[in-house]
Structure 1
Amino acid sequence: MTTQETTAGFSDERRFELLVSNVSDYAIYMLDLSGRINSWNAGAQRFKGYTASEIIGKHFSLFYTPEDQQNNRPARALRTAREEGRFEDEGWRVRKDGTRFWANVVIDPIRDPEGNLVGFAKVTRDITERKAAEEALRGSEERFRLLVQGVTDYAIYMLAPDGVVTNWNSGAERIKGYTHDEIVGQHFSCFYTPEDRQAGSPAKTLAAAASVGRFEQEGWRVRKDGTRFWAHVVVDAVHDDHQKLIGFAKITRDVTERKLAAEALERANAALFQSQKMEAVGQLTGGIAHDFNNLLTVLSSSMDLLTMRLSNPSDIRILDTMRRAVERGATLTQQLLSFARKQPLQVQNCDLNVVIAGFEAVLKRAGNSSIEIDFAYVPELRMVAIDVARFEAALLNLVVNARDAMPEGGKIIVAVNNADLKDGDVGTLKAGAFIAVTVSDTGTGMAERVIARAFEPFFTTKEVGKGSGLGLSQVYGFIAQSGGEVQIDSKEGQGTTIRLYLPAIEDSAVESKSAPAASQEMILMVDDEPDVLDIGAELCRSIGYQVLTANNAKEALEMLNRSANISILFTDVVMPQGMHGLELARTARALLPQLKVVLASGYPLPMLKEQHGPTDAFTFITKPYRLADLAQVLRTAT
């Protein structure tokens, strides 16, 4: 007989009573107005351990923990149900055996047809397992949160599907500079460079992650303060249980140091390869030049012998032609030996400010009217040990190359500076103190393939007959033999900068206002006639003076302002362009009261006094002068 059949004859109330009594998943029982139990079902007995005879008539507060009883929680539950029409709660409850379980409790007031409160219906469910699962999940989530927050080497954060930042860990704050409150709610595109944002990179990143589930990349990112760092980025799409996209997990790591180290290693390897290649080519070139020189020696000596034995003028002319060819071959071997770093050097300690300033006139004449040449010096320049003549030849070579790269005119800047290098900054040079001599032009520039071969002997981009291809190779060989390095920075259409790095002599900084060496005074010679200037400078050098030259008063004053090593000003009086020599002498003496001044002119002294005023404060020499007169005047100059 079925339950339906056995209850068919019962009233509705009886059937409901039977239903409630037999429910075992819920404790369902009644309370009177004071909270005493007056009914008990099977579920209540199962959960709480009391039989109906044990519990009916007892106050329901005995199910509460002692602390809840002390806090009067049972009475508050009934008051809430009475006043608000319902009470619902979760909390610990106590079984008959004293064990506790986590309960979900609902108390409803019961009223008669007239609305009078007659008691309470109480439904309790044991949800301890659910509570434990929730606690475990909450604990797991908290541990994960603490783990993520504790990671400082990685920026770990979440994005909404539209790219808005929704959370932020301490690693993200350390790497990117934003606090949690500053960045949550902002779009993650603010971490990208302006050029990447313009290219649509943030949107492409999310689209790729959403499409294939993951996106990985390295690139430049921007911190809050605007500085950039090289980042390794991983973006994973996050889906719910129904595979709906709910956001993205983003992990970023700052790998700037790794990138810089890799680039430094690549540069070092490239420099080592270039150095080894040039060394091998240099050894081969040096060997060939040496053997070729020996052959030329035999040819030259043989022609000398033949010259003495021949009397026919026609034959002698042929020998002269052959001798000139041998001399050109000898010059070529010297150029090759220069590249191979096997040339003898006459090294001396010197100040490159002085060397270059004294060579300015020659460098300027190497240009043309469409090219402007400027010079930039620094005070307290370190000293270098170098062969001055070969350094001047190398510098001239670079200026000529710069001139040839600017057929339509432009500007050349020759600059000198102190440079402190670290290992790997320039080629294979070790860390230390150096002098950097820079020759920059605004010319046609070089392609990468040209730069790679620029120092190779006989490599040239000039037309046939316009260059031997030995200019830069000579420069490279001489600087390398001097312990330095040559660096080219160039792009097609953007000009070229060539830097010569030379090792400085330790503790060699020269005070900008230091006095010249007593044994070798410095003369600044000024004349608007180049030939007169050149021969006068050569005469002064021949008697032991160092010489700087200037073509006009303006150039002379610039040199006096930047170099206090000049002790004698030797100037022509009549210079048609700009300031004449006597004006220059007076200005220079006002600038440097201890400066000795020698005036030179082809006009007699009385006539110069009549035209330009007193000259008694200065020493005078009449043109043309002999070497002996020049030497005496320089020794007695005031």
Structure 2
Amino acid sequence: MLIRDIMIDQPITVAPELPISDVVRIMIDKRIGFMVVEEDGKACGVLTEGDLVGLAAQGIDIRATPVRQFKHSPVFGVQADANVFYAYDKLVQQKMRHLVVENEVGEIVGVVTMSSFIANLGVEHFSELQRVSDILHHVEVTVATDTLVIEAIQRMHECKHAMIVIDQGKAVGILTSRAVVRLCGRPFNEWKSLTVQDVMKPPVCIYRKAFVPEASALMKEHRTRHLIVVGDREEFIDLVTISDVAHSMEGRYVEFMRSVMQDMGQDLLTAGSRNRALFERNPNAVFSLDSKGIITHVNPAAILLTGFGSEYLENKAITEFYDQECLDHGIAAFESAKNGDAKSMYLRMLVTDARTIHIFMSFVPVQVEGIITGVYAVSFDMTERVMAELRLYRLSEALQQAGEPIAITDAYGVIEFANLKMHQLFAYEEGCLIGTNLETLEHRIDGRSQYKENVWASVKDGVPYKGEFFHQSKTGKMLDLRLSCAPVHVPGAGRVDYFVNIYEDMSFRREMEQIALQSLKMETIGTLAGGIAHDFNNYLGAVTGSVYLLKRELQHMPEAFERLNKLEQITDRAASLIAQLMTFSRNEKLINKLLPYSELIEETKELSQLLIPRNVALHWQIAKHIYINGNASQLQQILLNMLKNSSDAIKDIENPMISVSLSTIEVGEKLSKRSGLRLGERFAMLTVEDNGCGIEEGNKESIFDPFFTTKEIGKGTGMGLAMAYGAVQSHLGWIELTSNKGEGTEFRLYFPMVSHEASGHPPLIQENSVTILLVDDEPMMLDIGSEILAALGYQVVTCDNGEDAVNLFCKHPDHFAMAILDVMMPRQNGVETALALRKICADFPILFATGYDADAVPQSLLSRSKTSLISKPWKIETLESFMQALLADQ
């Protein structure tokens, strides 16, 4: 088949002096995509739709510009008697859609286009094995519906392909060069402010799994040169053009070889010099096979492909060179060709150096006088393509499965690839981010775009960008993200082609920073509290002791006695405040023991009736038989503080309600991740919920800070929730809240559960006729302490330091029944003194007294028998109880 058989004769040509505006009108009227520029009967250029796109992108006035002044496309000519396959090869090599057909003297006699090849040759013989996904155009840039037309045209000019219009990951239209030509026929002022949506064409779509002949038929049916390739969910994949379809016809070389053999009428080896040259110079590997599949002859390309010489290849079965997995398919294709039905397929072939290559082999029957005498196996080396596709697949999968959100955009910020994490982060369905500009995902402050002002300006200069700013998900959720954006350069082009964007969700890091800040606050408060607690508790101890003694003496004076009661209440509240402060700072050593937590909550239920107003509906749901290790008074105080907080929150609410529940929970993955509690462990969960005013978002981070309060001055100290937080932490637990302004608040407190173990209580003694060794560096504590112990019926000997106490005990070890030792003393502290006393008498009872740091007493010492610890200021009843327990065996 020759070019004259398929060309379009009598083509429309234009003179170089003609204004481009006239050319545009002709192209619109005739619905043609190019025009040949003719001078003296010969072609001097070709003016294409692509050229006009460049004019529009540059803003050139086509009314005043003749064709001659514009740099149009060059002329690629072909002789009318040239073979179709030669012309096709030239068209593919030059990457053109048009060829000018010339006679012997160079005069224009016609044109031939990609459409000419497709219409006259078809694509079935080779393309029946190719899918649309094999010939994708690889679109670099897409646009949104609101993109200005002039901006889209500029992108078309840069990228040399039609603009696909994307909305929510799907193609909704296409802007082609033909549409731009129509715009060029109108005054610029009429369309300069139009958006793509105003001029785009509806897309003609085809599934990526469709075969190439289907694409060719669909183009013909819709009279279009572009098809939008979509996935199974209609999401945009890529573009296929008429040129892509035409390029898929390279396999027609095989058909050409068949036609040559039919014309020859004899074996190739005895053919004329023209056909022998064609065989020998064919760029594709050709194996001549006899009816049994034995190689009878090979061309140089086959020798180059396999690495074996002709003497090694010839007289061997072609099947010897097949990979075993492909053997059956190769034999079936050969047998089919023997029966006159050409077949093509992908195979793996064994070549020199024990290598395996990927080839595309077409089996073509050879006929001599109508009789099939053999088969030609024409092969293309596909190894590089297959390996490139494999690398691309691996890279794509690696990006898709990456743990970080990743988006790849074109040079304008339009997303071409977004992995699963990226879609999850922004709450989009998979594939729906494709075609979206990153700028639309940004949460702008004062209308300013970080992308436009900082990101693009940096990366377009080739400098990677790193920064943090807010984005917004599809659901409206604010996202605090760190962006790392790197430019990717086109090899050899010197320009930035696309950007790789990696995001990091900063919310977890911010949360960790807040936890670290909270810990720092606690440490600061602890240091402050520790500095004053020791002295302050000593002073309170002296006051408490003095009040106790005065009450004993003034029982007959009711008015004075009542004032002393009030003074005692004030000192108790002061001591409680210090205790809360110490608990919050986690410097207060908890003396924990096994507790029936369910029963403790039941007891607190009775106390709560005094705290909660009667108009509040208070609901309790307490699970039975829950045990934890803890300090009963602190745990009770935690719940009372939570109830008081809820009570304050619902004071102005109609139908106020508080719900308290106690249940068990096994720590799951989500709770473990946000709390640090060990996965799979069982915890007691105390929940306190109200329908009050809720907590403002800005106050949530500070709600557990000491002295933080939203109440009026004088209405609260800001220590209730802070103490609860510290106490829960000291019990190795966790506290969290859920609250929205105006929707109430729910606190959840978690405590480690333990199995129930029974424990007994030592009997109390009745007689106090014993001598106590009281050691303290504060003179007033010695004075008041001596009087209190004497009032309780004990004899007392005092020392103001540990060294004197040890010396005294060493002289009279049998004189003393027990010692009460201040922990923090100069020269020799309470622990050192206790160890020295125990060296003299190993089972000597010791009661440590501390106004500050219980951790100063080692647990190994406290865990011994006849050893205990009491906090200052003393409650007389507590002091007496501790002493009776220690003296029980004396």
Q: TM-score range by the shorter chain?
A: 0.3 to 0.5
Q: So what's the TM-score if we normalise by structure 2?
A: 0.33
Instruction: Tell which structure's C-alpha radius of gyration is larger.
Output: 1
TM-score by length of 1: 0.43
